[in-house]
Structure 1
Protein backbone atom coordinates (compact mmCIF):
# COMPACT_ATOMS: atom_id res chain seq x y z
CA UNK A 1 0.00 0.00 0.00
CA UNK A 2 1.71 3.12 -1.28
CA UNK A 3 -0.25 6.19 -0.17
CA UNK A 4 1.78 9.08 -1.63
CA UNK A 5 2.53 9.27 -5.38
CA UNK A 6 2.55 11.88 -8.13
CA UNK A 7 1.64 11.84 -11.81
CA UNK A 8 1.91 14.29 -14.70
CA UNK A 9 -1.16 16.02 -13.23
CA UNK A 10 1.46 17.75 -11.07
CA UNK A 11 5.20 17.06 -11.11
CA UNK A 12 5.50 13.32 -11.74
CA UNK A 13 6.76 11.84 -15.00
CA UNK A 14 4.14 9.08 -15.46
CA UNK A 15 0.63 9.85 -16.61
CA UNK A 16 -2.13 8.80 -14.20
CA UNK A 17 -2.83 5.78 -16.42
CA UNK A 18 0.84 4.83 -16.48
CA UNK A 19 1.07 5.32 -12.73
CA UNK A 20 -1.68 2.84 -11.87
CA UNK A 21 -0.22 0.39 -14.39
CA UNK A 22 3.20 0.70 -12.80
CA UNK A 23 1.67 0.16 -9.35
CA UNK A 24 0.06 -3.09 -10.49
CA UNK A 25 3.34 -4.24 -12.04
CA UNK A 26 5.11 -3.44 -8.75
CA UNK A 27 2.70 -5.76 -6.94
CA UNK A 28 0.91 -3.09 -4.93
CA UNK A 29 -2.63 -3.76 -3.74
CA UNK A 30 -3.47 -0.12 -2.92
CA UNK A 31 -2.23 3.11 -4.49
CA UNK A 32 -3.03 6.70 -3.58
CA UNK A 33 -2.68 9.37 -6.25
CA UNK A 34 -1.76 12.58 -4.42
CA UNK A 35 -0.76 15.24 -6.92
CA UNK A 36 0.11 18.71 -5.66
CA UNK A 37 -2.96 20.88 -5.09
CA UNK A 38 -5.01 19.18 -7.80
CA UNK A 39 -7.43 16.33 -8.45
CA UNK A 40 -6.98 16.47 -12.23
CA UNK A 41 -5.42 13.00 -12.43
CA UNK A 42 -8.27 11.18 -10.72
CA UNK A 43 -10.49 10.47 -13.72
CA UNK A 44 -7.68 9.12 -15.91
CA UNK A 45 -6.37 6.95 -13.09
CA UNK A 46 -9.84 5.51 -12.48
CA UNK A 47 -10.39 4.83 -16.18
CA UNK A 48 -7.14 2.86 -16.40
CA UNK A 49 -7.35 1.09 -13.03
CA UNK A 50 -6.03 -2.48 -13.43
CA UNK A 51 -7.77 -5.47 -11.84
CA UNK A 52 -6.61 -6.16 -8.31
CA UNK A 53 -5.53 -2.60 -7.55
CA UNK A 54 -7.48 -0.30 -5.23
CA UNK A 55 -7.18 3.45 -5.81
CA UNK A 56 -7.34 6.04 -3.05
CA UNK A 57 -8.00 9.48 -4.49
CA UNK A 58 -6.17 12.28 -2.75
CA UNK A 59 -4.00 15.36 -3.09
CA UNK A 60 -0.94 16.86 -1.44
CA UNK A 61 -1.82 20.33 -0.20
CA UNK A 62 0.74 23.14 -0.04
CA UNK A 63 0.36 24.57 3.46
CA UNK A 64 2.10 26.99 5.77
CA UNK A 65 2.35 27.43 9.52
CA UNK A 66 2.45 31.11 10.39
CA UNK A 67 3.59 30.54 13.96
CA UNK A 68 7.20 30.25 12.79
CA UNK A 69 9.39 33.24 11.96
CA UNK A 70 9.44 33.21 9.03
CA UNK A 71 6.41 31.03 8.31
CA UNK A 72 7.21 27.34 7.80
CA UNK A 73 6.01 25.57 4.61
CA UNK A 74 4.66 22.05 5.04
CA UNK A 75 2.61 19.49 3.13
CA UNK A 76 -0.69 17.90 4.07
CA UNK A 77 -1.89 14.71 2.40
CA UNK A 78 -5.67 14.77 1.97
CA UNK A 79 -7.45 11.50 1.21
CA UNK A 80 -10.95 10.52 0.09
CA UNK A 81 -12.40 14.02 0.13
CA UNK A 82 -15.21 15.49 -1.94
CA UNK A 83 -13.49 17.55 -4.68
CA UNK A 84 -16.65 19.60 -5.17
CA UNK A 85 -16.62 21.05 -1.65
CA UNK A 86 -16.71 24.76 -2.59
CA UNK A 87 -14.21 26.28 -0.17
CA UNK A 88 -11.60 23.55 -0.56
CA UNK A 89 -11.96 23.63 -4.35
CA UNK A 90 -11.51 27.41 -4.32
CA UNK A 91 -8.38 27.18 -2.19
CA UNK A 92 -6.86 24.59 -4.53
CA UNK A 93 -7.58 26.80 -7.54
CA UNK A 94 -5.96 29.75 -5.78
CA UNK A 95 -2.81 27.81 -4.87
CA UNK A 96 -2.49 26.41 -8.42
CA UNK A 97 -2.76 29.92 -9.86
CA UNK A 98 -0.11 31.16 -7.46
CA UNK A 99 2.14 28.21 -8.35
CA UNK A 100 2.00 29.30 -11.98
CA UNK A 101 2.65 32.94 -11.16
CA UNK A 102 5.62 31.99 -8.97
CA UNK A 103 7.02 29.74 -11.68
CA UNK A 104 6.90 32.51 -14.25
CA UNK A 105 8.62 34.91 -11.85
CA UNK A 106 11.40 32.37 -11.21
CA UNK A 107 11.96 31.97 -14.93
CA UNK A 108 12.04 35.78 -15.29
CA UNK A 109 14.79 35.90 -12.66
CA UNK A 110 16.77 33.20 -14.45
CA UNK A 111 16.43 34.97 -17.79
CA UNK A 112 17.46 38.29 -16.22
CA UNK A 113 20.69 36.59 -15.13
CA UNK A 114 21.34 35.42 -18.67
CA UNK A 115 20.08 31.82 -18.48
CA UNK A 116 18.16 30.70 -21.56
CA UNK A 117 15.08 29.20 -19.89
CA UNK A 118 11.73 29.55 -21.67
CA UNK A 119 8.50 29.91 -19.69
CA UNK A 120 6.37 28.62 -22.61
CA UNK A 121 8.64 25.55 -22.72
CA UNK A 122 8.15 24.97 -18.97
CA UNK A 123 4.38 25.22 -19.38
CA UNK A 124 4.43 22.90 -22.38
CA UNK A 125 6.44 20.28 -20.50
CA UNK A 126 4.03 20.51 -17.56
CA UNK A 127 1.40 19.20 -20.01
CA UNK A 128 -1.46 21.02 -18.35
CA UNK A 129 -0.61 19.79 -14.87
CA UNK A 130 -0.09 21.92 -11.77
CA UNK A 131 3.18 23.76 -12.47
CA UNK A 132 5.90 23.43 -9.86
CA UNK A 133 9.60 24.01 -9.33
CA UNK A 134 10.43 20.47 -10.54
CA UNK A 135 9.31 21.55 -14.02
CA UNK A 136 11.80 24.43 -13.87
CA UNK A 137 14.43 22.02 -12.57
CA UNK A 138 13.91 19.89 -15.66
CA UNK A 139 14.33 22.99 -17.84
CA UNK A 140 17.65 23.70 -16.10
CA UNK A 141 18.75 20.14 -16.83
CA UNK A 142 17.71 20.37 -20.48
CA UNK A 143 19.69 23.62 -20.79
CA UNK A 144 22.80 21.90 -19.43
CA UNK A 145 22.95 24.23 -16.43
CA UNK A 146 22.67 21.47 -13.81
CA UNK A 147 23.16 17.75 -13.90
CA UNK A 148 20.31 16.56 -11.69
CA UNK A 149 17.10 17.55 -9.94
CA UNK A 150 18.96 17.52 -6.62
CA UNK A 151 21.49 20.03 -7.98
CA UNK A 152 18.68 22.19 -9.38
CA UNK A 153 17.17 22.45 -5.90
CA UNK A 154 20.54 23.35 -4.36
CA UNK A 155 21.58 26.68 -2.88
CA UNK A 156 22.87 28.05 -6.17
CA UNK A 157 19.56 27.58 -7.94
CA UNK A 158 15.98 26.87 -6.82
CA UNK A 159 16.96 26.49 -3.18
CA UNK A 160 18.72 29.85 -3.05
CA UNK A 161 18.61 32.97 -5.24
CA UNK A 162 15.78 31.58 -7.38
CA UNK A 163 13.60 30.41 -4.51
CA UNK A 164 10.40 32.41 -4.21
CA UNK A 165 7.53 31.82 -1.75
CA UNK A 166 4.03 30.91 -2.83
CA UNK A 167 0.70 31.71 -1.22
CA UNK A 168 0.02 28.42 0.56
CA UNK A 169 -3.01 27.44 2.65
CA UNK A 170 -2.83 28.05 6.39
CA UNK A 171 -2.38 24.53 7.79
CA UNK A 172 -5.21 24.81 10.33
CA UNK A 173 -7.58 25.99 7.61
CA UNK A 174 -6.42 23.11 5.40
CA UNK A 175 -7.22 20.53 8.09
CA UNK A 176 -10.62 22.14 8.63
CA UNK A 177 -11.45 22.19 4.91
CA UNK A 178 -10.35 18.60 4.31
CA UNK A 179 -12.51 17.43 7.22
CA UNK A 180 -15.43 19.53 5.99
CA UNK A 181 -15.10 17.79 2.62
CA UNK A 182 -15.30 14.38 4.32
CA UNK A 183 -11.59 13.74 3.83
CA UNK A 184 -8.77 12.48 6.00
CA UNK A 185 -5.72 14.75 6.60
CA UNK A 186 -2.26 13.25 7.16
CA UNK A 187 0.92 15.27 7.77
CA UNK A 188 3.46 14.43 5.02
CA UNK A 189 7.11 13.78 6.03
CA UNK A 190 6.79 15.92 9.19
CA UNK A 191 10.38 15.46 10.44
CA UNK A 192 12.30 15.62 7.13
CA UNK A 193 15.05 17.96 8.35
CA UNK A 194 17.03 17.40 5.15
CA UNK A 195 14.30 19.40 3.39
CA UNK A 196 14.71 22.39 5.70
CA UNK A 197 12.96 23.61 8.83
CA UNK A 198 10.38 21.39 10.51
CA UNK A 199 7.56 22.35 12.84
CA UNK A 200 7.60 21.60 16.59
CA UNK A 201 5.76 18.66 18.08
CA UNK A 202 3.52 21.09 19.94
CA UNK A 203 2.08 22.25 16.61
CA UNK A 204 1.38 18.66 15.56
CA UNK A 205 -0.45 18.15 18.87
CA UNK A 206 -2.57 21.24 18.12
CA UNK A 207 -3.30 19.96 14.61
CA UNK A 208 -4.33 16.58 16.06
CA UNK A 209 -6.81 18.37 18.30
CA UNK A 210 -8.08 20.22 15.21
CA UNK A 211 -8.67 17.05 13.18
CA UNK A 212 -5.33 15.77 11.87
CA UNK A 213 -5.68 11.98 11.55
CA UNK A 214 -2.22 10.62 10.81
CA UNK A 215 1.51 11.15 10.34
CA UNK A 216 3.65 9.90 7.48
CA UNK A 217 6.61 8.22 9.22
CA UNK A 218 8.19 5.88 6.68
CA UNK A 219 9.51 8.17 3.94
CA UNK A 220 12.73 8.45 1.97
CA UNK A 221 13.55 11.82 3.53
CA UNK A 222 13.27 10.59 7.12
CA UNK A 223 16.31 9.17 8.87
CA UNK A 224 15.78 6.10 11.11
CA UNK A 225 15.83 8.42 14.12
CA UNK A 226 13.23 10.70 12.54
CA UNK A 227 10.99 7.75 11.64
CA UNK A 228 11.15 6.54 15.24
CA UNK A 229 10.34 10.03 16.52
CA UNK A 230 7.28 10.31 14.29
CA UNK A 231 6.02 6.88 15.36
CA UNK A 232 6.39 7.74 19.03
CA UNK A 233 4.61 11.06 18.57
CA UNK A 234 1.77 9.42 16.66
CA UNK A 235 1.32 6.86 19.44
CA UNK A 236 1.27 9.64 22.03
CA UNK A 237 -1.37 11.61 20.11
CA UNK A 238 -3.50 8.65 19.01
CA UNK A 239 -2.77 9.17 15.30
CA UNK A 240 -2.19 6.43 12.75
CA UNK A 241 1.11 6.11 10.88
CA UNK A 242 1.55 5.83 7.13
CA UNK A 243 4.48 4.98 4.89
CA UNK A 244 4.85 5.80 1.23
CA UNK A 245 7.33 6.35 -1.58
CA UNK A 246 6.42 9.94 -2.59
CA UNK A 247 7.02 8.59 -6.09
CA UNK A 248 7.68 11.13 -8.85
CA UNK A 249 8.92 8.84 -11.62
CA UNK A 250 12.29 9.78 -13.08
CA UNK A 251 12.34 13.08 -11.15
CA UNK A 252 13.38 11.06 -8.08
CA UNK A 253 15.25 7.80 -7.63
CA UNK A 254 12.83 6.26 -5.11
CA UNK A 255 10.73 3.40 -6.49
CA UNK A 256 7.02 2.73 -6.14
CA UNK A 257 6.40 0.75 -2.97
CA UNK A 258 9.79 1.62 -1.48
CA UNK A 259 7.88 2.54 1.70
CA UNK A 260 4.41 1.25 2.46
CA UNK A 261 1.51 1.55 4.90
CA UNK A 262 0.41 -1.31 7.16
CA UNK A 263 -3.10 -2.73 6.87
CA UNK A 264 -4.35 -1.54 10.31
CA UNK A 265 -3.37 2.08 9.55
CA UNK A 266 -5.00 1.88 6.13
CA UNK A 267 -8.20 0.55 7.67
CA UNK A 268 -8.26 3.48 10.11
CA UNK A 269 -7.78 5.92 7.24
CA UNK A 270 -10.67 4.48 5.23
CA UNK A 271 -12.92 4.32 8.28
CA UNK A 272 -12.26 8.00 9.05
CA UNK A 273 -13.47 9.19 5.62
CA UNK A 274 -16.98 10.44 5.01
CA UNK A 275 -16.55 12.04 1.56
CA UNK A 276 -17.97 10.85 -1.74
CA UNK A 277 -14.70 9.50 -3.14
CA UNK A 278 -14.47 6.07 -1.58
CA UNK A 279 -11.76 3.60 -2.46
CA UNK A 280 -12.13 2.43 -6.08
CA UNK A 281 -11.34 -1.18 -7.00
CA UNK A 282 -9.98 -2.38 -10.31
Structure 2
Protein backbone atom coordinates (compact mmCIF):
# COMPACT_ATOMS: atom_id res chain seq x y z
CA UNK A 1 0.00 0.00 0.00
CA UNK A 2 1.59 3.29 -1.15
CA UNK A 3 0.51 6.42 0.73
CA UNK A 4 1.63 10.01 -0.03
CA UNK A 5 0.32 12.52 2.51
CA UNK A 6 1.61 15.87 1.20
CA UNK A 7 0.84 17.29 -2.26
CA UNK A 8 -0.10 20.62 -3.81
CA UNK A 9 -2.29 21.64 -6.74
CA UNK A 10 -3.11 24.85 -8.59
CA UNK A 11 -5.40 25.70 -5.66
CA UNK A 12 -2.16 26.95 -4.08
CA UNK A 13 1.31 26.71 -5.64
CA UNK A 14 1.32 23.43 -7.56
CA UNK A 15 1.14 23.17 -11.34
CA UNK A 16 -1.35 20.26 -11.60
CA UNK A 17 -5.03 21.05 -11.25
CA UNK A 18 -6.65 19.06 -8.42
CA UNK A 19 -8.18 16.75 -11.04
CA UNK A 20 -4.83 16.24 -12.77
CA UNK A 21 -3.13 15.62 -9.45
CA UNK A 22 -5.37 12.73 -8.41
CA UNK A 23 -5.21 11.21 -11.88
CA UNK A 24 -1.41 11.46 -11.81
CA UNK A 25 -1.37 9.96 -8.32
CA UNK A 26 -3.38 7.00 -9.56
CA UNK A 27 -1.09 6.60 -12.56
CA UNK A 28 1.92 6.70 -10.22
CA UNK A 29 0.59 3.65 -8.40
CA UNK A 30 -0.48 5.38 -5.21
CA UNK A 31 -3.28 3.91 -3.12
CA UNK A 32 -3.78 7.01 -0.95
CA UNK A 33 -2.94 10.67 -1.62
CA UNK A 34 -3.53 13.74 0.54
CA UNK A 35 -4.26 17.10 -1.07
CA UNK A 36 -2.72 19.68 1.27
CA UNK A 37 -2.71 23.04 -0.48
CA UNK A 38 -1.39 26.01 1.46
CA UNK A 39 -4.08 27.35 3.82
CA UNK A 40 -6.75 26.28 1.34
CA UNK A 41 -9.34 23.54 0.82
CA UNK A 42 -10.52 25.00 -2.48
CA UNK A 43 -9.24 22.09 -4.56
CA UNK A 44 -10.96 19.32 -2.63
CA UNK A 45 -14.24 19.25 -4.56
CA UNK A 46 -12.53 19.03 -7.95
CA UNK A 47 -10.16 16.33 -6.70
CA UNK A 48 -13.05 14.27 -5.34
CA UNK A 49 -14.98 14.63 -8.59
CA UNK A 50 -12.02 13.29 -10.59
CA UNK A 51 -10.85 10.65 -8.12
CA UNK A 52 -9.99 7.47 -10.04
CA UNK A 53 -11.10 4.06 -8.87
CA UNK A 54 -8.58 2.48 -6.54
CA UNK A 55 -7.24 5.77 -5.14
CA UNK A 56 -8.35 7.21 -1.80
CA UNK A 57 -8.18 10.94 -1.12
CA UNK A 58 -7.28 12.41 2.26
CA UNK A 59 -8.49 16.00 2.45
CA UNK A 60 -6.21 18.46 4.21
CA UNK A 61 -4.25 21.69 4.11
CA UNK A 62 -0.76 22.94 4.93
CA UNK A 63 -1.11 25.75 7.46
CA UNK A 64 1.35 28.65 7.59
CA UNK A 65 2.72 29.02 11.11
CA UNK A 66 5.49 30.90 12.91
CA UNK A 67 7.17 30.11 16.23
CA UNK A 68 9.61 32.56 17.84
CA UNK A 69 10.21 34.23 14.49
CA UNK A 70 10.80 30.97 12.62
CA UNK A 71 8.44 30.01 9.80
CA UNK A 72 7.04 26.48 9.86
CA UNK A 73 4.25 24.53 8.20
CA UNK A 74 1.62 22.38 9.86
CA UNK A 75 -0.11 19.66 7.85
CA UNK A 76 -3.73 19.30 8.91
CA UNK A 77 -5.67 16.22 7.85
CA UNK A 78 -9.34 15.29 7.77
CA UNK A 79 -10.69 18.35 9.57
CA UNK A 80 -14.12 19.93 9.13
CA UNK A 81 -13.41 22.74 6.61
CA UNK A 82 -16.41 24.74 7.83
CA UNK A 83 -15.42 24.80 11.51
CA UNK A 84 -15.59 28.56 12.26
CA UNK A 85 -12.39 29.06 14.24
CA UNK A 86 -10.04 27.34 11.81
CA UNK A 87 -11.88 28.76 8.80
CA UNK A 88 -11.46 32.31 10.08
CA UNK A 89 -7.70 31.86 10.53
CA UNK A 90 -7.29 30.34 7.07
CA UNK A 91 -9.16 33.28 5.58
CA UNK A 92 -6.85 35.74 7.37
CA UNK A 93 -3.82 34.02 5.85
CA UNK A 94 -5.46 33.87 2.41
CA UNK A 95 -6.45 37.54 2.46
CA UNK A 96 -2.89 38.55 3.35
CA UNK A 97 -1.33 36.78 0.37
CA UNK A 98 -1.97 39.41 -2.32
CA UNK A 99 -0.66 42.47 -0.42
CA UNK A 100 2.31 40.40 0.74
CA UNK A 101 3.16 39.33 -2.80
CA UNK A 102 2.81 42.91 -4.01
CA UNK A 103 5.18 44.01 -1.27
CA UNK A 104 7.78 41.47 -2.35
CA UNK A 105 7.43 42.55 -5.96
CA UNK A 106 8.06 46.16 -4.90
CA UNK A 107 11.21 45.12 -3.03
CA UNK A 108 12.45 43.16 -6.04
CA UNK A 109 11.84 46.13 -8.31
CA UNK A 110 13.86 48.29 -5.89
CA UNK A 111 16.65 45.72 -6.26
CA UNK A 112 16.56 46.18 -10.03
CA UNK A 113 14.53 43.09 -10.93
CA UNK A 114 11.90 43.91 -13.61
CA UNK A 115 9.23 41.61 -12.16
CA UNK A 116 5.61 42.81 -12.30
CA UNK A 117 2.38 41.96 -10.54
CA UNK A 118 0.85 41.03 -13.91
CA UNK A 119 3.59 38.44 -14.49
CA UNK A 120 3.19 36.88 -11.04
CA UNK A 121 -0.62 36.88 -11.31
CA UNK A 122 -0.37 35.09 -14.66
CA UNK A 123 1.87 32.41 -13.15
CA UNK A 124 -0.40 31.98 -10.13
CA UNK A 125 -3.53 31.66 -12.27
CA UNK A 126 -6.41 30.59 -10.03
CA UNK A 127 -4.05 29.58 -7.21
CA UNK A 128 -3.43 31.42 -3.96
CA UNK A 129 -0.46 33.61 -4.86
CA UNK A 130 2.69 32.93 -2.87
CA UNK A 131 6.46 32.98 -2.89
CA UNK A 132 6.79 30.02 -5.32
CA UNK A 133 4.93 32.03 -7.97
CA UNK A 134 7.30 34.96 -7.47
CA UNK A 135 10.21 32.52 -7.59
CA UNK A 136 8.91 31.19 -10.90
CA UNK A 137 8.83 34.75 -12.21
CA UNK A 138 12.49 35.13 -11.24
CA UNK A 139 13.26 31.95 -13.20
CA UNK A 140 11.39 33.33 -16.23
CA UNK A 141 13.44 36.52 -16.02
CA UNK A 142 16.70 34.61 -15.79
CA UNK A 143 17.51 36.00 -12.35
CA UNK A 144 17.85 32.49 -10.87
CA UNK A 145 18.09 29.07 -12.46
CA UNK A 146 15.44 27.29 -10.40
CA UNK A 147 12.63 27.98 -7.96
CA UNK A 148 14.72 26.64 -5.07
CA UNK A 149 17.51 29.08 -5.99
CA UNK A 150 15.12 31.95 -5.27
CA UNK A 151 14.66 30.81 -1.67
CA UNK A 152 17.95 32.27 -0.44
CA UNK A 153 18.77 35.30 1.73
CA UNK A 154 19.63 37.13 -1.48
CA UNK A 155 16.01 36.90 -2.61
CA UNK A 156 12.93 35.30 -1.00
CA UNK A 157 14.06 33.26 2.01
CA UNK A 158 12.77 34.25 5.46
CA UNK A 159 14.52 37.51 6.26
CA UNK A 160 15.85 37.79 2.70
CA UNK A 161 16.24 41.04 0.79
CA UNK A 162 12.81 40.75 -0.85
CA UNK A 163 11.02 38.97 2.00
CA UNK A 164 7.76 40.35 3.41
CA UNK A 165 6.05 38.87 6.46
CA UNK A 166 2.47 37.61 6.34
CA UNK A 167 -0.21 36.58 8.80
CA UNK A 168 0.74 33.20 10.23
CA UNK A 169 -0.69 31.02 12.96
CA UNK A 170 1.01 30.27 16.22
CA UNK A 171 1.54 26.49 15.91
CA UNK A 172 0.05 25.86 19.36
CA UNK A 173 -3.09 27.69 18.21
CA UNK A 174 -3.01 25.69 14.97
CA UNK A 175 -2.99 22.41 16.88
CA UNK A 176 -5.87 23.58 19.07
CA UNK A 177 -7.94 24.79 16.12
CA UNK A 178 -7.36 21.67 14.01
CA UNK A 179 -8.26 19.46 16.98
CA UNK A 180 -11.44 21.48 17.52
CA UNK A 181 -12.28 20.84 13.84
CA UNK A 182 -11.79 17.10 14.30
CA UNK A 183 -8.47 16.97 12.44
CA UNK A 184 -4.98 15.55 12.87
CA UNK A 185 -1.76 17.62 12.85
CA UNK A 186 1.69 16.74 11.48
CA UNK A 187 4.66 19.14 11.51
CA UNK A 188 5.83 19.33 7.87
CA UNK A 189 9.56 18.92 7.00
CA UNK A 190 10.69 20.06 10.48
CA UNK A 191 14.42 19.86 9.71
CA UNK A 192 14.43 21.38 6.20
CA UNK A 193 17.39 23.65 6.96
CA UNK A 194 17.89 24.43 3.26
CA UNK A 195 14.76 26.59 3.53
CA UNK A 196 16.10 28.68 6.43
CA UNK A 197 16.06 28.44 10.20
CA UNK A 198 14.25 25.49 11.75
CA UNK A 199 12.61 25.24 15.14
CA UNK A 200 14.65 23.42 17.81
CA UNK A 201 13.80 19.84 18.68
CA UNK A 202 12.92 20.99 22.20
CA UNK A 203 10.05 22.97 20.65
CA UNK A 204 8.84 19.84 18.87
CA UNK A 205 8.60 18.24 22.30
CA UNK A 206 6.50 21.14 23.53
CA UNK A 207 4.25 20.86 20.48
CA UNK A 208 3.86 17.13 21.09
CA UNK A 209 2.84 17.84 24.68
CA UNK A 210 0.24 20.28 23.31
CA UNK A 211 -1.30 17.59 21.10
CA UNK A 212 0.79 17.46 17.91
CA UNK A 213 0.07 14.08 16.32
CA UNK A 214 3.24 13.60 14.28
CA UNK A 215 6.19 14.88 12.30
CA UNK A 216 7.00 14.45 8.63
CA UNK A 217 10.21 12.39 8.69
CA UNK A 218 10.74 11.03 5.17
CA UNK A 219 10.98 14.10 2.92
CA UNK A 220 13.24 15.23 0.09
CA UNK A 221 14.69 18.03 2.24
CA UNK A 222 15.86 15.59 4.94
CA UNK A 223 19.15 13.75 4.55
CA UNK A 224 19.24 10.06 5.63
CA UNK A 225 20.92 10.90 8.94
CA UNK A 226 18.30 13.57 9.61
CA UNK A 227 15.49 11.15 8.86
CA UNK A 228 16.96 8.63 11.27
CA UNK A 229 17.28 11.26 14.00
CA UNK A 230 13.72 12.49 13.49
CA UNK A 231 12.36 8.95 13.53
CA UNK A 232 14.03 8.42 16.87
CA UNK A 233 12.64 11.73 18.14
CA UNK A 234 9.12 10.73 17.11
CA UNK A 235 9.50 7.42 18.93
CA UNK A 236 10.81 9.15 22.06
CA UNK A 237 7.90 11.60 22.03
CA UNK A 238 5.31 8.96 21.24
CA UNK A 239 4.12 10.70 18.08
CA UNK A 240 3.63 9.52 14.51
CA UNK A 241 6.31 9.59 11.80
CA UNK A 242 5.07 10.17 8.25
CA UNK A 243 6.61 10.30 4.79
CA UNK A 244 5.51 12.37 1.80
CA UNK A 245 6.64 13.75 -1.54
CA UNK A 246 5.60 17.41 -1.06
CA UNK A 247 4.71 17.22 -4.76
CA UNK A 248 4.21 20.55 -6.59
CA UNK A 249 3.97 19.31 -10.17
CA UNK A 250 6.64 20.78 -12.45
CA UNK A 251 7.48 23.58 -9.99
CA UNK A 252 9.74 21.24 -7.97
CA UNK A 253 11.80 18.16 -8.77
CA UNK A 254 10.03 15.82 -6.31
CA UNK A 255 7.73 13.17 -7.78
CA UNK A 256 4.55 11.61 -6.46
CA UNK A 257 5.28 8.75 -4.09
CA UNK A 258 8.97 9.69 -3.74
CA UNK A 259 8.49 9.17 0.00
CA UNK A 260 5.52 7.42 1.56
CA UNK A 261 3.80 6.82 4.90
CA UNK A 262 3.60 3.46 6.66
CA UNK A 263 0.06 2.00 6.36
CA UNK A 264 -0.16 1.56 10.14
CA UNK A 265 0.60 5.24 10.67
CA UNK A 266 -2.01 6.17 8.06
CA UNK A 267 -4.50 3.95 9.82
CA UNK A 268 -3.83 5.74 13.10
CA UNK A 269 -4.35 9.14 11.43
CA UNK A 270 -7.73 8.04 10.11
CA UNK A 271 -8.69 6.59 13.50
CA UNK A 272 -7.94 9.88 15.24
CA UNK A 273 -9.83 12.07 12.76
CA UNK A 274 -13.46 12.95 13.37
CA UNK A 275 -13.93 16.04 11.21
CA UNK A 276 -13.87 14.28 7.84
CA UNK A 277 -13.15 10.85 6.40
CA UNK A 278 -10.98 9.59 3.53
CA UNK A 279 -12.81 9.53 0.20
CA UNK A 280 -12.50 6.33 -1.87
CA UNK A 281 -12.33 6.74 -5.62
CA UNK A 282 -15.18 5.42 -7.72
CA UNK A 283 -13.87 6.20 -11.17
CA UNK A 284 -13.96 10.00 -11.21
CA UNK A 285 -15.03 12.32 -13.98
CA UNK A 286 -12.95 12.70 -17.09
CA UNK A 287 -14.17 16.29 -17.37
CA UNK A 288 -13.60 17.60 -13.79
CA contact (8 A) 1:192 1:226 kept: no
Q: TM-score, normalised by structure 2?
A: 0.93
Q: CA offset at residue 43 of structure 1? A: 0.6
SS of the counterpart of 1:57? strand
Q: Tell me how large the CA RMSD over aligned residues is.
A: 1.1
Confirm or deny: 8 A CA contact 2:151 2:195 kept in the other structure: no
Deviates more, 1:52-61 or 1:129-138: 129-138
Query: For residue 280 of structure 1, what is the aligned residue in structure 2?
Result: 279
Gap change, CA 1:65 and 1:155, over 3 Å in 2? closer
Give the Cα separation in 1 of the matches to 2:107 and 2:204.
36
Query: 1:21, 1:50 within 8 Å by CA — same for their partners in 2?
Result: yes
1:54 is displaced (CA, Å) by 0.1
1 CA distance for matches of 2:93 and 2:273? Answer: 24
Cα separation, 2, equivalents of 1:192 and 1:144: 26
What is the aligned residue count?
277
Alignment of 1:169-188 (within 5 A): 169-188=169-188
Cα distance in 2 for partners of 1:96, 1:214 equals 25
| Greater displacement, 151-160 / 93-102 | 151-160
* Structure 2 Cα separation of the partners of residues 132 and 63 of structure 1: 15
Query: What residue number does 1:32 align with?
Result: 34
Counterparts of 1:216-231 in structure 2, within 5 Å, are 216-231=216-231
Mind listing any 5+ residue stretches in structure 1 that lack a counterpart?
Answer: none
Secondary structure of 1:122 counterpart = helix
- CA shift in 2, pair 1:194/1:114, >3 Å: closer
Q: Structure 1, residues 36-58: CA drift from partner, whole Å, max 9, x if none?
A: 01001101100100000000000
2:99 corresponds, among 98, 101, 107, to 101
Match status 1:123 vs 2:121: yes
Moved runs in structure 1, 4+ residues, more than 3 A? Answer: none
Corresponding residue for 1:12? 14
- SS class of match (1:169): coil
Q: CA deviation at 1:145?
A: 2.1
Q: 3-state SS of the aligned residue for 1:45?
A: helix
Give the match for residue 58 of structure 2: 56
Q: Tell me the equivalent position of 2:285.
A: none
Provide the C-alpha distance between the structure 2 equivalents of 1:150 and 1:207, rounded to a whole number of angstroms. 28
Q: How has the CA–CA distance of structure 1 residues 151 and 202 changed in structure 2, closer, same or farther, with 3 Å as cutoff?
A: closer
Q: How many angstroms apart in 1 are the aligned matches of 2:194 and 2:225?
A: 13
Moved more, 76-85 or 135-144: 135-144
Structure 2: gaps of 5 or more residues: 282-288
Q: Does 1:191 align with 2:191?
A: yes
Looking at structure 1, the residues matched to 194 and 162 of structure 2 have their Cα atoms a distance apart, in angstroms, of 19
Equivalence for 1:162: 162
Which piece of structure 1 moves more, 227-236 or 145-154?
A: 145-154
**Offset, 1:271:** 0.3
Counterparts of 2:130 and 2:202, CA distance in 1: 30
User: 1:81-136, CA deviations, whole angstroms, 9 ceiling, x for partnerless residues?
Assistant: 00101111010010112222111101111223332212123123212221110100
Q: Distance in 2 between the 1:191 and 1:153 partners?
A: 16
1:143 matched to 2:137? The reply is no
